[in-house]
Amino acid sequence: MKLTSSKITFIICLFLVGSLSVSTFAQNKGSISLFPDQAKTKISKDIYGHFAEHLGACIYGGFWVGEKSPIPNTDGIRNDVVNALRQISIPNLRWPGGCFADTYHWKDGIGPREKRPSIINTNWGGVTEDNSFGTHEFMRLTELLGCDAYINGNIGSGTVQEMSEWVEYLTSSNESPMTKLRKENGRDKPWKVKYWAVGNETWGCGGNMTPDYYGNLFRQYSTFLHDFPGNRLEKVASGASDRDYNWTETMMKNPKSRQMMQGISLHYYTIMDNWSHKGSATQFTEKEWFTTIRKSLEMDKIVTAHSDIMDKYDPQKKVSLVVDEWGNWFDVEPGTNPGFLFQQNTMRDAMVAALNLNIFNNHCDRVRMANLAQAINVLQSLILTKNEKMVLTPTYYVFKMWKVHQDATLVPLKLNCEKYIMGNDTIPSITASASKDAAGKTHITLANFDPNKSQEITCDFSGGTYSQVKGEILTANTMNACNTFDKPDEIKPVNFTGVFLKNNILKITLPSKSVVAIEIN
């Protein structure tokens, strides 16, 4: 069978169990057809990127404890956190915000720490920011993590000169006031910076601009962000929120903007109810579980619609769609600072991580970078810390299981699955994506959203022959199961025994509310 869709992958849920078909088809059955012979598009590793903002305890207490801390650290950066993030092969880290980025003046964060000014973090709780974590500390963090730096420049309250000088300070090896200053601050050689965002949410906290006005500023600022020898910046324009298609259209239709940007951002958060009632991260009903997943699945439509606009102006797909903020946003944990956005992380978050990463994989022809919000102690975190303790969340484990897709080649698939029904709403009960890695192994990642029913999936292949299979599963007895500081190992991936391969047909039994990664070769 030849796929005709213009998209690299298409996934069609043929909802086998409808009101008429219940008696015709057995429940809990579905199928996947994989097309390894049509694998051609790379899944950029940068889809698996992360985000560290000066917000709550993401930087201070999360990444940074300072050299004098009793918590084991390297140059002030927590060793446990670095080790955990290296294990998921973190490809890039976005910093210093978020909204904070458009209030951040980088020169406040260099030089002797005792001389750095304290400022008010006006976006996040009005707390004192003493600037002890700045440019040198961030670049050291990326070195320890072995990942690329993604720096978000300040367009909202900064100047062209300030942003231009930051790039020069970081990446130039020539003789100049900025490189002299860098050397005085202890760094001789320039760093490499791969990604540079020109403002953040410029429709909102980054300056409340119109897209036309921002487009002009983007081109002006970008003109002065130089590629110094040995470094090439990929510039990311501040893009749309959710379904603001006019923003993408305005930015993309300008030929000069298109030429000057390598990416344009998109922010879409999963808000369970609405901004004034986002719901608890841990205390929720099955209806709220369902609604969260349904709203998160909207990411597919949103990415498709923005990609369609981009295709109109950039059919060669030179400009990437950069989903540099995504994830669940719930009410803060009771008793915590509302400005710190601290929330727990359950099996529901694992579902949302799995489905979003599958969506990005399946759109890898246009989505070439994404950043979960945020890495530590903020929103849908990978990691929670409390003094010397560290907890890895279900979301962390999804990234660990999915890392096999980084820089692999997308294998298109067609999924036929059961409906998951709640009142008048229906969603597919399964998400899936697949890829082939450099060693020739094929990886299929799935999640069963249904918290009550298991799913039996039969998987066939067009153009591939396989003889070996293994897998991992992340699941729990309850929808709101989570890892806590007292019980950090409640949820962890274990060996998956519900998969069999015979005569090139794979049979998978996905338990209810489970996340599974399968390797075949």
User: Annotated active-site positions, please?
Assistant: 201, 325
By CB under 6 A, the count of residues binding ligand AHR is 10
Closer of 336 and 484 to ligand AHR (Cβ): 336
As a whole number of angstroms, the distance between CA 303 and CA 190 comes to 36
In 8-145, where do the E strands start and end? 29-34, 49-51, 73-74, 77-78, 92-95, 119-120, 128-129
Closer of 53 and 168 to ligand AHR (Cβ): 53
State the minimum distance, in angstroms, from the CB of residue 341 to ligand AHR: 6
Closer of 95 and 449 to ligand AHR (Cβ): 95
User: Considering Cα of 230, then 317, then 49, then 407, what sign does the dihedral take?
Assistant: negative
State the minimum distance, in angstroms, from the CB of residue 331 to ligand AHR: 14
**373 near ligand AHR (CB under 6 A):** yes
3-state secondary structure of 219: helix
As a whole number of angstroms, the distance between CA 503 and CA 111 comes to 65
Q: Which of 53, 165, 331, 365 binds ligand AHR (CB under 6 A)?
A: 53
Q: Is the peptide bond before 493 cis (omega within 30 degrees of 0)?
A: no
Q: Enumerate residues 276-315 that contact ligand AHR by CB under 6 A.
A: none
The sheet with strand 29-34 has its strands ordered as 413-416, 29-34, 455-461, 505-510, 499-502
Closer of 58 and 252 to ligand AHR (Cβ): 58
**98 near ligand AHR (CB under 6 A):** yes
3-state secondary structure of 241: strand
Closer of 250 and 374 to ligand AHR (Cβ): 374
**346 near ligand AHR (CB under 6 A):** no
Q: Which of 103, 171, 200, 222 binds ligand AHR (CB under 6 A)?
A: 200
Could you tell me where the DSSP H helices lie in 412-494?
Answer: none
Strand-strand pairing, 195-198 and 148-153: parallel
Q: Which of 129, 201, 349, 365 binds ligand AHR (CB under 6 A)?
A: 201
Give the alpha-carbon dihedral of 99, 372, 10, 20, to 10 degrees: -100
For ligand AHR, the nearest residue by Cβ is 98
State the minimum distance, in angstroms, from the CB of residue 205 to ligand AHR: 6
Distance of CA 182 to the CA centre of its chain: 31
State the minimum distance, in angstroms, from the CB of residue 206 to ligand AHR: 8
What are residue 225's DSSP bridge partners?
Answer: none
Q: Which of 99, 357, 427, 459 binds ligand AHR (CB under 6 A)?
A: 99
Closer of 39 and 323 to ligand AHR (Cβ): 323
Query: Which residues of the chain form contacts with ligand AHR (CB under 6 A)?
Result: 53, 97-99, 200-201, 325, 373-374, 379
